[in-house]
Amino acid sequence: MILRGITSATLHHHRHRPLPPTSASFSVSDADLAGRGFTLHRDATSLDLARLNSIFVSVGFPRRDPEKIRLALDHSDALLWLHDSRSDLPVAFARATGDGVFNAIIWDVVVDPSFQGIGLGKAMVERLVDDLLRKGITNIALYSEPRVLGFYRPLGFVADPAGIRGMVYSRKNKNKRRN
Ligand SMILES: CC(C)(COP(=O)(O)OP(=O)(O)OC[C@H]1O[C@@H](n2cnc3c(N)ncnc32)[C@H](O)[C@@H]1OP(=O)(O)O)[C@@H](O)C(=O)NCCC(=O)NCCS
């Protein structure tokens, strides 16, 4: 009984526990990012959600209700974003949801179009994966559009490992079958 209580309390606080120090080496160091005017954040309290929404829209993601984005970020297991000091705006973002123990799925990896191609996307995904691994979460998945497979492969992601295929619930197909 006591053991169960301790266990559930420990798990309950898992999401917000400080991370152990990293031993990973990244393609761009935190110091390099800072030297280029980019500040790394791991919580969303000072993130301008309207601006984040605009970045989503500028890369073709749907515009979403900022209240719902805030809730989704509150329920994420890990998130990262970069603030650009020159424009005083967020310019890159990535997050992961999951059970906080075994599994995580990466979502919303996005770099402002005028900041793409300078290593920021790679810097974000490297750190997001490392944050998850440091939490002990080792089953890390994501959905990739075909044109972005080449971005994720060098970061350690493989498509259809051992023939395992992802399946997504599709209301459209379900309705089709019913009709
Ligand atoms: C995909 C995205 C996150 C990449 O971020 P980025 O900052 O432009 O990429 P980086 O500069 O960090 O690129 C890192 C490496 O990946 C390569 N790369 C970048 N985009 C690539 C792509 N679409 N296909 C193949 N390789 C790509 C770069 O050439 C670079 O290679 P290098 O390390 O050998 O120099 C960014 O372009 C973006 O926001 N795209 C729109 C949103 C999107 O599609 N998100 C993914 C959702 S599935």
Q: Assess if residue 122 is contained within a domain.
A: yes
Q: Assess if residue 177 is contained within a domain.
A: no
Q: Assess if residue 167 is contained within a domain.
A: no
For position 117, which CATH number holds? Answer: 3.40.630.30
CA 59 vs. chain centroid, Å, equals 16
d(CA 171, CA 154): 33
Distance in Å, CA 110 to ligand 1 centroid: 9
Q: Assess if residue 3 is contained within a domain.
A: no
CA angle 30, 66, 169 (to 5 degrees): 90
Catalytic residue among 67, 117, 152, 172: 152
Question: Is any atom of ligand 1 closer than 6 Å to the C-beta of 94?
Answer: no
Ligand 1 pocket mutation, candidates 114, 118, 148, 152, criterion most atoms within 8 A of CB: 148
Q: Record the tokens describing residue 28, joined without a space.
A: 């761009």
pLDDT tens-digit profile, the chain (179 residues): 445 444 444 444 456 677 888 888 899 999 999 999 999 999 999 999 999 999 999 999 999 999 999 999 999 999 999 999 999 999 999 999 999 999 999 999 999 999 999 999 999 999 999 999 999 999 999 999 999 999 999 999 999 999 999 999 998 876 665 54
Q: Assess if residue 38 is contained within a domain.
A: yes
Q: What is the pLDDT of residue 76?
A: 97
Q: Is the pTM of this model over 0.85?
A: yes
Distance in Å, CA 109 to ligand 1 centroid: 10
Q: Assess if residue 100 is contained within a domain.
A: yes
Question: Is any atom of ligand 1 closer than 6 Å to the C-beta of 151?
Answer: yes
Active site residue 169: no
Q: What is the pLDDT of residue 174?
A: 67
Q: Assess if residue 103 is contained within a domain.
A: yes
Q: Which domain holds residue 122?
A: 25-154
d(CA 21, CA 147): 34
Q: What is the pLDDT of residue 18?
A: 79
Total structural domains within the chain: 1
- 56 — phi, psi (to 5°)? -55, -50
Dihedral angle at the C-alpha atoms of 19, 25, 29, 30, nearest 10 degrees? 0
Q: What is the pLDDT of residue 9?
A: 42
Which residues have C-beta within 8 Å of that of residue 100, sequence separation ≥ 6? 11, 14, 15, 77, 135, 137
Q: Assess if residue 113 is contained within a domain.
A: yes
